[in-house]
Amino acid sequence: MASDSAYELFQIGTALLEARDHHAATVALARARDLEPEKASIREALGRALFGAQRYREAAAEFAAVVEGAPTNDYALFCLGRALQLQGRHDEARRPLTLASCLRPERADYRRYRDQVRRRAA
């Protein structure tokens, strides 16, 4: 992978992610992110891989970067909230999970996790 472009690394990483090889996907996607740090698609995929590898602190940082550039990205907000929740940071998880739920009120999973953090943070 030494001479791969960000696009090639992204393709490799997403294929590994789809194969549920989260640890290997993080390697390719982190390299792609380093080459193209402003690409939300790369950062979201890296966040998904890190989340799948149970590296929630790092996943939260990637999803936060996506949300910073696209504050109405409901999926990134949801994933940010879940990554914070799984670190036990329930109070911090409330805002992104609430926003995700407001943006996509039809998503029962968004509402379920929003309600969980509300109970835990109270």
Last residue of a domain, one of 54, 79, 96: 54
Average pLDDT, the chain: 96
Task: Judge whether residue 101 has pLDDT over 60.
Answer: yes
User: What pLDDT sits at residue 23?
Assistant: 98
Domain count, the chain: 2
Point out the domain boundary residue: 9, 32, 54.
54
pTM beyond cutoff 0.85 = yes
2: pLDDT strictly greater than 60: no
Residues 81 and 105 in one domain: yes
Where does a domain end: 37, 54, 71?
54
**102 and 50 belong to one structural domain:** no
How many of the other CB atoms lie within 10 Å of CB of 2?
4
Residues 117 and 60 in one domain: yes
pLDDT digits over 36-88, tens only? 999 999 999 999 999 999 999 999 999 999 999 999 999 999 999 999 999 99
Structural domain range at position 75? 56-122
Query: By the 8 A CB rule, do 2 and 9 touch?
Result: no
- Looking at the structure, tell me whether residues 93 and 121 fall in a common domain: yes
Q: What is the pLDDT, as a whole number, of residue 121? A: 82
**Confidence at 9, pLDDT banded by 50, 70, 90:** very high
Residue 80 and residue 112 in one domain:
yes
CATH classification of the domain holding 86: 1.25.40.10
